[in-house]
Structure 1
Amino acid sequence: MTPAIKFCFPIPTVLESERVKLVPFDLTVHAKLLITACSDVSYYDFIPMGPYKDEEEFIAFLRNENVEDNNEIAMFAVYDKTKEEEAYAGVIGFVNSSAQDLVTEIFVIIAPAFQRTHVTSNAIGILLKYALDLQGGLGLRRVVWQASAANAASIRTAERMGFRQEGVLRWHKAWPESKSRGANGTRVRKGDPREEMFPLGRDTVVLSICWDDWEGGVRAHVEATMARTE
């Protein structure tokens, strides 16, 4: 089962660079791989999803969120082609997509073993090129990246790939105590309707690459970043 099948834009069976390959995320194959590769619960401190105790819980979450039928979402499994046997490295995808407005947002979860390697830059670069290129791509006008304001690593990754900060959405997400690292450091007021389950809040940094950025030099920057070997 591939959640991307009802996506509002066409999706190839494979998107790839010389070193990384993306294929539509199949729950029957990739759910267990993701949960195994990202088993450290602290890995989920900055994002609204997870952690999950097993693949069944992860699959239940996706089905509860109606990911299979949501035409704004496309998920891809990430594979490192440089390994002797292509190694599963995480998940990446499009969310909050609109064919009418020609916009999308990229999310990515790379397994710790592949972070700070060519995998992250290539996976992101592959989706950026597919999203923003006119020839061979979707020709979108805008690609968004959102991250917890406390997640400096995610913000740096986005900026390294050419995203520009647009601003901060204060108190953007209701946040649980168990993920305090991703919160804004302030507790909600007494009597808040969701105080018991979500006593904290997450501020969100919004970054973007738009078509004119892309044509104005960001595409070349992304290709150079993908080609780096260090």
Structure 2
Amino acid sequence: MATGQFYYEQKRLENDLISLEPFDQTIHITKFFNQTKYHPDLLKYVDFPQTETEEQFTKEVYAPLHDAPGECLYAIIDKTKPQTSSTEPENQNAYAGTIALTNTDKGNAATEIGIMIFKDFQRTHVGTNAVGLLLQYTLDPALDGGLGLRRVEWKTHFENVASRNAALRMGFEFEGILRWHRAFSLGVPVEALEKRNGTSGELRGRHTAYFSIVWEEWDEKRPKVVALMQKKY
């Protein structure tokens, strides 16, 4: 079940190692919810809504994404794992994480990639190939089957060194850090800000590291991304 309101076609994407399947609530949401519940480190740098049940998660997290035209969610399937059909629930052992096009701006031909790889699939071919497939789809020209977008962003908490390194490795250019970019609910309140403002419960602030790949550099970067996708782990 593809994201119904997405600005562009949500194609199924694949190579020899992985496939990106449109996220299907009936197949993928249980494992996704359980992964975030039992592996809280996945959310260390993500200001994710706190939900206690799968039903609450579906209503408060998944449903708004499904209905937003700027959001496009994929399940990452590791094709190197035994499977009969990537769309059948029994193949949860091959479901390796999620990747999304988010904050998509059709008028400015720009989007952002967000990715979460489950614990057992980290430091494998999965993340590199998932990002690579989406870069090809978003930045390749329409004549080559892509969307021909002008800009693809990667944004992350400035303390998330692994994510920052991944962005650089995949060819994204570092643009800078937006200080106090947003309030961040995780962690202890900011006492200095409380004292200054005479308030209580001031949330931490997320400083956000910005990266991007833009259209005029993609032809040069593309072969390097493809080479990374073919690398043996």
User: Normalized against structure 2, the TM-score is what?
Assistant: 0.87
Alignment deviations for residues 141-163 of structure 1 (CA, whole Å, 9 cap, x no partner): 10000000000000011111101
What is the SS of the residue equivalent to 2:7?
coil
Which amino acid counterpart does residue 163 of structure 2 have in structure 1? Answer: S
Alignment deviations for residues 83-114 of structure 1 (CA, whole Å, 9 cap, x no partner): 11250001101011122111100000110110
What's the % identity of the aligned pairs? Answer: 36
The answer for the alignment partner of 1:26 in structure 2 is 24
Alignment of 1:52-91 (within 5 A): 52-62=51-61, 66-85=64-83, 87-91=94-98
Bigger CA drift: 25-34 or 117-126?
25-34
CA 1:160/1:121 → structure 2, altered by over 3 Å: closer, same or farther? same
CA 1:209/1:194 → structure 2, altered by over 3 Å: closer, same or farther? farther
The answer for the alignment partner of 1:200 in structure 2 is 204
Indicate conservation of the 8 Å contact 1:158/1:207, yes or no: yes
- 1:68 and 1:161 map into 2 onto residues whose CA distance is 27
User: How many residues matched?
Assistant: 221
Alignment deviations for residues 7-53 of structure 1 (CA, whole Å, 9 cap, x no partner): 011112x1111101011111222111112234212321201214543
- 2:102 and 2:74 map into 1 onto residues whose CA distance is 12
Indicate conservation of the 8 Å contact 2:42/2:116, yes or no: no
Unaligned 5+ segments in structure 2 are: 84-90
CA root-mean-square deviation:
2.2
Which amino acid counterpart does residue 230 of structure 2 have in structure 1? Answer: A
Indicate conservation of the 8 Å contact 2:49/2:61, yes or no: no
Offset of residue 192 of structure 1: 4.7
- 1:228 and 1:33 map into 2 onto residues whose CA distance is 28
What is the SS of the residue equivalent to 1:188?
helix
Give 1:229's match in structure 2, choosing from 221, 225, 232: 232
Offset of residue 57 of structure 1: 2.6
- 1:32 and 1:89 map into 2 onto residues whose CA distance is 13
- 2:199 and 2:149 map into 1 onto residues whose CA distance is 37
What is the SS of the residue equivalent to 2:181?
strand
CA 1:192/1:70 → structure 2, altered by over 3 Å: closer, same or farther? farther
User: Normalized against structure 1, the TM-score is what?
Assistant: 0.88
- 2:192 and 2:29 map into 1 onto residues whose CA distance is 34
Offset of residue 55 of structure 1: 2.1
Alignment of 1:159-170 (within 5 A): 159-170=168-179
Indicate conservation of the 8 Å contact 2:22/2:74, yes or no: yes
What is the SS of the residue equivalent to 2:102?
strand
The answer for the alignment partner of 1:154 in structure 2 is 163
- 2:80 and 2:198 map into 1 onto residues whose CA distance is 50
- 2:72 and 2:21 map into 1 onto residues whose CA distance is 10
Bigger CA drift: 151-160 or 82-91?
82-91
